[in-house]
Amino acid sequence: MSPLAVKDKVYVGNSGGEFGVRGWITALNADDGHIVWKAFNTGPDADVLIGPNFHPFYDMDKGQDLGVKTWPPDQWKLGGSNVWGFISYDPETNLIFHGTGNPGVWNPEQRPGDNKWSNGIFARNADTGEAAWYYQFSPHDQFDHDGINENILITLPVNGQPRKVVLRPDRNGYMYVLDRGTGQVLSATPYVYINSQTGVDLQTGRLGYAPDKMAATGKVVHDICPNASGAKDWEPSAYSPRTGLLYVPHENMCMDWEGLEANYIAGTPYVGVDAKFYAGPGGNMGLFTAWDPVHNGPAWQLKEKYPVFSGALVTAGDIVFYGTLEGWFKAVDAKTGNLLWQFKTGSGIIGQPVTYRGPDGKQYIAILSGIGGWPGAIVAGDLDTDDQTAAAGWGKAMEDLKKDTTKGGTLYVFALP
C-alpha cells in the first residue's frame, strides 16, 4: 500500500491476508519513524484500540471483544483483515478512514461467524488510533471481497440537505453512501451485475447472501457474480466536484468457486479455494463507469475487453484518463464518455495516472505502463492459460492477453496543449 502522511504522522498497514497473517494499521512519527500507535484488526478490543468512544451505528457491530468472539477459537490470530489499500483523512473531525481486507482463510466454512473486523471500514482518531465507529460491508466474507477500497469524503445532498458522507465503491458490488460521522448506510446500490448477494438491509446494515451461491467445501458452485476480485478491486476511482460524478474503473466478471480444506503453514499460501474466472453478462470483462451518487446510477458507461485495473484521473478540464490491460491509455469526455484520444503503450497498464504543472507552465499527464497485478500475472509470470486456475482463477479468462500485450515497464509523460 501507499502510506498517508498527516501532520507529524505517517499511516501504513500490512498485507498478507493469503498467508494467515494478522492485519494492523500503525502511525509512525514522521521525524524518526518510531511507532506512535498500532491497532490490530482482529483480536480483543484492547488490541483493536476499541474503547469507550467507540460508537458503531449498527447492532451487528456492537459488543465486547467481537474480534475474538466472531471467530473460531484462535482463528483470529490467522485472520488477515489487513490494511493494504487506502486511507483518507478528514481535518474537520481529525478522523482517518481505512478499510480492512479479507479474513483468512478464504474458505468460509473454516471460519464460522462474522469474522470481525474484516471486510469493513474503521473511523479512527488520527492522533491516538482509537476507533470511533466501524461498519462491516461483507460479514462472514464468502468470496474474498476485501474491504480495502478507497473512501471518498464529499458532501452530498441527502433528502434536500447537505450531508458529509463517505462514498465507497466496494468490491462486493455495491456503491455505498455512508454518513461520515456515524457509519450509517444511507444507500447501497449495485453498480455491476450481482447474483451472489440479495442486497443490503438499511435497517440492520447487513448484507444478504443468495443461498444458492454460498461457498461450500468440496462442491463447485457455478456462476457466482461478481468474482473474487470483485466488482472493483484496488484500482482507485476519481471524483469530480465539477461534474458531481465518480469515475470508476472496474470489472464485469463471474466465477466458479470450490472450497478446499486449508492447513496453516507459516510462510505458505493459506487460501482453501479453487476458482475459475470468466466474463460476466455481455461478454466484456471490463467497465469504466461514471456514477452519479445523488441519483444512484450511471451517467454513462464504457465497455472494455479486459478488466480495467488502472486508476482513474479526472481533471478540471473535464477530461478523464485511464488505461487498459492491452496497454491503451485513454482520454474521454468527463460529461459524455466520448473518446477524445488514445495512445498504445508498450505493455498493459495497471498504474495510476497523475497530472502536474511543469516548470515551463504546461500541464503534464504521466502513466506507468507495465503489466502485472492479479490478472496481469498471466503475462508477467508467463503462466499456462490452459490451466483455468492459473493466477488463482484468471487462467482461461486471460488467454488472449498474451497476444494483446507484452511484459514491460515504461513511464510515459504527455504534455497537454
Secondary structure letter of residue 217 according to DSSP:
B
SS3 breakdown of the chain: % helix, strand, coil, rounded to 5?
A: 10, 40, 50
10 Å Cβ neighbour count for 24? Answer: 20
Secondary structure letter of residue 89 according to DSSP:
E
Q: Please provide the DSSP assignment of 310-364 as one string.
A: S--EE-TTSEEEEE-TTSEEEEEETTT--EEEEEE-SS---S--EEEE-TTS-EE
Of 82, 102, 107, 119, which is the active-site residue?
102
What distance lies between CA 393 and its chain's CA centroid?
Answer: 18
Q: Which three cell numbers stand for residue 140?
A: 462472514
Q: Shortest CA distance to 353 belongs to which of 306, 308, 401, 321?
A: 321
Please, how many CA atoms are within 13 Å of residue 177, restricted to the half-sphere of its CB? Answer: 20
Strands 313-314 and 319-323, by their bridges, are antiparallel
114 is catalytic: no
10 Å Cβ neighbour count for 330? Answer: 21
Output the CA–CA distances (angstroms, integers) from residue 346 to 246, 290, 308, 312, 412, in the order listed: 28, 27, 17, 19, 10
144 is catalytic: yes
Of 18, 141, 251, 304, which is the active-site residue?
18
For residues 176 and 217, what is the distance between their CA atoms, to the nearest angstrom?
Answer: 31
What distance lies between CA 101 and its chain's CA centroid?
Answer: 9
65 is catalytic: no
Bond before 103 cis per omega within 30 degrees? no
Of 47, 61, 141, 144, which is the active-site residue?
144
Strands (E), 63-117: 87-90, 95-99
For residues 204 and 274, what is the distance between their CA atoms, to the nearest angstrom?
Answer: 32
User: What values do phi and psi take at 374, rounded to 5?
Assistant: -60, -60
Is 341:393 a contact under the CB 8 Å cutoff?
no
- Which residues are identified as catalytic? 18, 102, 144
